[in-house]
Amino acid sequence: MAYRYATERTDHSALASGQVLRSAPGFPGFPVRLASELLQRALAHTTDQGESPVRLWDPCGGSGYLATVLGLLHRDRLAHVRVSDIDEDAVALAARNLELLTADGLAAREEELRRSARDFGRVEFVERAEAARDLAAGLASQGGDLPHEVRTADVFTLTDPVDADVVVTDIPYGEMTSWGGSAPEEDRVGAMLRSLGGVLPRHAVVVITAKTRRIALPEGVRALERVKVGTRAGALVRARDVAP
Ligand SMILES: C[S@@+](CC[C@H](N)C(=O)[O-])C[C@H]1O[C@@H](n2cnc3c(N)ncnc32)[C@H](O)[C@@H]1O
């Protein structure tokens, strides 16, 4: 795949998992440049091509890494970020990461890293504290605190309407994470898409990605676009095309 939007090889080291953003064993990160490209491709399919800020949702959000990275990189194009996951430990970690979408959250993280630098006398902590400070400056310059919400939810059994315009989600592929909830193994993507289609506005754009050769969409569902980068594949679909 040729990058269409994230065309420059920008230094994203401040966003690396476990630097300022928190990680834990069993929670995968996500390539930052690809995350940016996928969001921007989705924005190009929104009603006004992403002119107005959109509400983003990651319903298999894990640690919240992907959603937080997108919030920090594209704050000016987003109005709200929502993360849900079936796993309560993931949701707790995601809540701490999404706090980094605020000036207070980043200031607290910078202070924590400066304290570690003093306590352990290690230069890496100073660099990480400086990265937190730089992320705070970036957030402020793009519009400031980004409203966000985190909750526990099974993506197969969603019932309440969700006000989101764009979904970007990295689904389990059995490396570090696996599926929970109940859906036929051979139709998990279909079950997830029907569930999402039942709660999202019809105009919403859903981006699914995974470490796989190709995202298998249910019969009759046409992708708006497909992407393939290295070991990852992605598919963009319109919510109304997957609504039950
Ligand atoms: C590849 S990980 C997501 C990584 C995430 N994008 C991040 O940045 O940390 C997949 C996530 O899907 C979650 N998951 C598995 N089954 C689920 C279900 N039925 N509903 C919601 N989340 C589910 C797992 O708990 C895991 O956190």
CA distance 87 to 104: 26
CA distance 138 to 134: 6
The binding-site residues of ligand 1, defined as CB within 6 angstroms of any ligand atom, are 27-28, 30, 58-63, 65-66, 85-87, 90, 154-156, 170-172, 177, 179-181
What is the residue type of 66?
L
Mutation test of ligand 1: which of 32, 60, 185 has the most ligand atoms closer than 8 Å to its C-beta?
A: 60
**Contacting residues for 193 by C-beta, under 8 A, at least 6 apart:** 206, 208, 217, 218, 221, 237, 242
Task: Check residue 132 and give its pLDDT.
Answer: 98
**Contacting residues for 48 by C-beta, under 8 A, at least 6 apart:** none
Torsion of Cα atoms, 67 then 162 then 140 then 9, to 10°: 30
Task: Check residue 55 and give its pLDDT.
Answer: 98
Task: Check residue 241 and give its pLDDT.
Answer: 97
Nearest one of 27, 30, 48 to 38, comparing CA atoms: 30
Q: What are the residue ranges in the chain where pLDDT is below 50?
A: none
Task: Check residue 244 and give its pLDDT.
Answer: 86
Ligand 1: centre distance to CA 62 (Å): 5
Of ligand 1's listed atoms, the one at least distance from the Cα of 94 is 9
Task: Check residue 70 and give its pLDDT.
Answer: 98
Ligand 1: centre distance to CA 134 (Å): 29
Nearest one of 155, 190, 164 to 62, comparing CA atoms: 155
CATH of 13-102+146-242, one of 3.40.640.10, 3.40.50.150, 2.60.40.420, 3.40.1280.10: 3.40.50.150
Ligand 1: centre distance to CA 45 (Å): 25
The one-character DSSP state at 186 is G
Ligand 1: centre distance to CA 85 (Å): 6
Q: Where are the domains of the chain?
A: 13-102+146-242
Nearest CA, atom 26, ligand 1: 62
Percentages of the chain per state (helix, strand, coil), in multiples of 5: 40, 15, 45
C-alpha distances out from residue 47 to 74, 86, 154, Å? 18, 30, 28
C-alpha distances out from residue 203 to 52, 54, 167, 214, Å? 14, 12, 11, 24
Task: Check residue 25 and give its pLDDT.
Answer: 93
Nearest one of 202, 185, 198, 186 to 155, comparing CA atoms: 198
For the four alpha carbons of 76, 90, 209 and 160, in that order, the dihedral sign comes to negative
Ligand 1: centre distance to CA 221 (Å): 23
Ligand 1: centre distance to CA 126 (Å): 32
Q: What's the pLDDT tens digit per position in 40-77?
A: 999 999 988 878 999 999 999 999 999 999 999 999 99
Task: Check residue 243 and give its pLDDT.
Answer: 93
Q: Is the separation of the CB atoms in 167 and 200 below 8 Å?
A: yes
The one-character DSSP state at 200 is S
